[in-house]
Chains A and B, each alone.
Chain A
Amino acid sequence: MAPRLTAVLGWLQERLGTREQLTRFLFRRLPVGTTWWHTLGSAALFLILLQTLTGFFLAFYYVPSPEHAWDSLTYIQQEIPFGRFVRGLHYWGASLTIVVVFLHLLRVFVMGAYKYPRELSWVVGVVLFLVVMLFGFTGYLLPWDQKAYWATVVGTHIAGTAPFVGDYLWRILQGGVEVGTRTLGRFYAAHVLILPAVLYGLILVHVSMVVYQGIGPTPRGPLARLRRQDYARLYEESKGRGETFLEHLVRDAVVAFVLLLALAWMAATWSIPMEEVADPTDTQYVPRPEWYFYFLFELLWQFPGKWTVVATFWIPLAGVLALLLLPFYDRTSGRSPLTRPVASAGAALALAAVGVLTYQGATAPAPPREGGAVTQETKALPPALAKGAAVYEAQGCSACHVLKGTGTAAGPDLTRVGARRADAWLRRFIKDPSAVQSGASMPPYGELPDEELQALAGYLAALK
């Protein structure tokens, strides 16, 4: 070692005891079979640090007020050198962080690393996951574009459905009776001051726990099943044959670097979706949440009316509690997923449900707009059918039906309805749905003039 460096280290050693601390940290032994999967935690930390850094710099130009927020972001993206890139890192980095944090959670679950003696690391980790989701929710409003505004209206409405405290929660989140100036101020303060303080506090705890207990081992061989009384002996034994943290650090660095390359590529080449500036008076806008909240938005389909609170409150609450308390109700000795079929199957099921709902959200048909997509095609239709198409459009059928990929999928897709239903049946059905098919949820259109009804039914019957 260079003599000067040795001198510096010696100076620090006398004052801080650096040598022992660093040695203990870097040269602690890891159990056998510490894999690339074990880099996800440090990858999450790397992305969080990067989010913090890019966030610091965005704050130099971003102004959290409805009058300036959108303009200041446009300025960042269009006028400032590297502005698009820096914001891109932060924007795409947010999604990537959520993905990596989730994969980290999944790794810990699959390897049974939440079990004795790491129950608290798991609990703190779940809270960290929720904090990261809150970063997403609060950061989302800041651009103050249409998407941001309306997603927040929906988000605060959902919070408002909570039993008993819903109304208060709703207003406290908004800072008043509507999403406005004060909501933006609150979300900004939460996003850049409060949540980071909470996040780094918890990360410190989380990482200290990992250092104290050592990393959760890959559940193979003697470690696939670990009874409490055997744990200490077997884990120490495994560490005796494993590598050091210093050696594992190379994996961490490689993963962080690859993630950064991917993120830089995204920031450089993907354009950031930015809509018109928020307009609370727009009644044509169709709100959509960010992709990591699709599952919740889609879940709402399953619980209409008075049951809404099941989807907006009880299921999320049950999900969070199931995660938080996992180490306390799953106390079997099995660590490998194959040795604990119930937990594995439950998790797979939950994962599949979230996956399916997210997929549904991602592939939902294009929302109907005023003077919707159908209008273009109707020009080419014969007059009789064109009239029916015009009625379809005017009566707002696309608010509940999908036609050629446009509309809302509340009712049946009508793209090929003519192949299933005849003209006369359609006419009777539209007039009074529940008389034709008991339990039909479509409201009756009895007041529709006969000639329009005929045109509409004729048009639908021709869709084959």
Chain B
Amino acid sequence: MAPDPSVDTVPPGRRRFVAAAMTAIGAAIAAIVGVPLAGFFALPALRRSERRWLEVGPVADFAEGRISKALAKPLVGPVWPRETGRVALYVQNQGDGKFALYHIHCTHVGCPVRWNAPAGRFFSPCHGGVFDKDGRVLAGPPPRPLDRYEYKVEKGVLYAGRIFKVNDRLEFAAWHHA
């Protein structure tokens, strides 16, 4: 009859060897399977500048001194996904060929802000966030001014690029997805 299962039926040296072998093989399996899967899962999301430029529209569409909502179209996209849906943003023509392009998500928790032209303010509908026409926080809980897009004008057409955060003095603070 076979002996009852017991730790003592295997000598200590052998047990240590089994432990070491199992650890090594286990770690190797975890690495060979885990590293590609983790990269597969996370890396595309962390890619820096996948979306190059959004075509916002002819500069002439944006009257000087005014803020208007624009629908922009991704210009050079990746093969997939073709996010055919447009991207909304607010365009402020500051004159002298200068623009400010605001992200529509409130910097608090991301509710869509509305531009109210008569009041000259952006309002967030969720927790009472109010921004002035330059995106500064006037009231409510938003922690920083509205995020902006970098932009360029080529042949009279306005393009929006990467999104960045600004500090309270409206100076560049950080790329949003750097």
Contact = CB atoms under 8 A, between A and B. Distances in A.
Contacts of A443: 121, 130, 132, 138-139
B114 A284 contact: yes
B36 interface: no
Contacts of B123: 396, 399-400
Contacts of B130: 399-400, 443
Say which size band chain A's interface belongs to.
35 or more
A351 B44 CA distance: 41
A156 B110 CA distance: 9
Contact of B177 (A171, A181, A301, A312): A171
B83 A285 contact: no
Question: Interface SS of chain A: helix, strand, loop or mixed?
Answer: loop
The listed residue with most A CB atoms (<10 A of its CB), out of B109, B110, B111, B130, is B109
B46 interface: yes
Interface stretch (A266-274, A302-310, A321-329, A419-427): A302-310
B45 A300 contact: no
Given A180-B81, A411-B128, A308 B139 contact: no
Interface string A138-166: 00000000000010011011100100000
Given A175-B44, A410-B128, A305 B141 contact: yes
B118 interface: yes
Contacts of B176: 167, 177
Interface residues of B, number: 48
B174 to A, nearest CB: 9
B163 A399 contact: no
Interface stretch (A9-17, A209-217, A275-283): A275-283
Contacts of B71: 281
Interface in A335-377: 367-368, 370
Interface of A: 66, 150, 153-154, 156-158, 161, 167-168, 171-172, 174-178, 180-182, 280-287, 297, 300-301, 303-306, 308, 312, 367-368, 370, 394-396, 399-400, 408-411, 441-443, 445, 447
7 nearest A-B residue pairs (beta carbon): A410-B128, A304-B141, A281-B88, A157-B110, A399-B123, A443-B138, A181-B81
